[in-house]
Amino acid sequence: MNPRSTPEQCEAWAPTDYDVAQWNERFRRIQPFVAELDGQPVAYADLQANGYIDHFFVSAAHARRGIGQQLMHHILELAAQREVSRMQAHVSLSAEPFFASNGFRVVVRQTVTVRGVPLDNALMERMQAECFTR
Ligand SMILES: CC(C)(COP(=O)(O)OP(=O)(O)OC[C@H]1O[C@@H](n2cnc3c(N)ncnc32)[C@H](O)[C@@H]1OP(=O)(O)O)[C@@H](O)C(=O)NCCC(=O)NCCS
């Protein structure tokens, strides 16, 4: 989340009272890669067959330690192996610089309403062919 996000926006994006069964089902669907530190999960991210990154998250307590970058390297390598031509993700404002530093560009900015609360994000994409020829 954006550090300037309001408490309402944080609660809408990551509700404290969440549906465990729904999250279990979501994880089964997206099949994420999980980064662990001392046996504890600290980050996770997925890569769908069409190149879409549905979730990319590093625990706030473990931010800016290079964990997100390691996870991104793994996903970028996988995308290259799978010959995915275009990767996309809906990225929060606070995560934009991280995705930009990994070759993603903003396609369109949007405001989505989650649980009645407006949240800003951007659709970002990375064209693999361009990155290979750099
Ligand atoms: C964005 C996010 C994935 C970054 O993960 P991280 O583990 O903290 O990132 P890293 O430590 O690997 O950072 C690597 C580089 O990315 C850039 N970067 C990361 N977070 C940044 C930020 N908030 N602002 C500016 N640059 C950032 C920096 O260049 C950083 O290198 P540095 O620390 O040497 O300056 C993480 O903060 C996060 O999960 N945010 C919330 C969830 C989210 O919005 N997900 C996005 C799409 S679903």
DSSP string, the chain: --TT--HHHHHHHS-SS--HHHHHHHHHHH--EEEEETTEEEEEE---TTSEE--EEE-GGGTTSSHHHHHHHHHHHHHHHTT-SEEEEEEEGGGHHHHHTTT-EEEEEEEEEETTEEEEEEEEEEEHHHHHT-
91 Cβ inside 6 Å of ligand 1: yes
Tell me if 56 CB under 6 Å of ligand 1. yes
Share of the chain above pLDDT 70, in %: 93
The average confidence (pLDDT) of the chain is 92
Kindly report, residue by residue over 58-108, the tens digit of the pLDDT.
Answer: 999 999 999 999 999 999 999 999 999 999 999 999 999 999 999 999 999
Lowest mean pLDDT among 2-6, 52-56, 68-72, 110-114: 2-6
Which CATH code for domain 7-132?
3.40.630.30
pLDDT value at position 132?
Answer: 54
Ligand 1, atom 25: nearest CA belongs to which residue? 97
With a cut of 70, say whether residue 1 has pLDDT above it. no
Short-list 86, 62, 75, CA closest to 30 = 75
Token duo for residue 49: 């067959």
**Beta-strand pair 40-45/117-127:** unpaired
Regarding the beta carbon of 47 and ligand 1, being less than 6 Å apart is answered no
Per-residue model confidence (pLDDT) at position 129 = 72
Using the mean position of ligand 1's atoms as its centre, give its distance from the Cα of residue 114 in Å: 23
Banded model confidence at residue 7, pLDDT cuts 50, 70, 90: confident
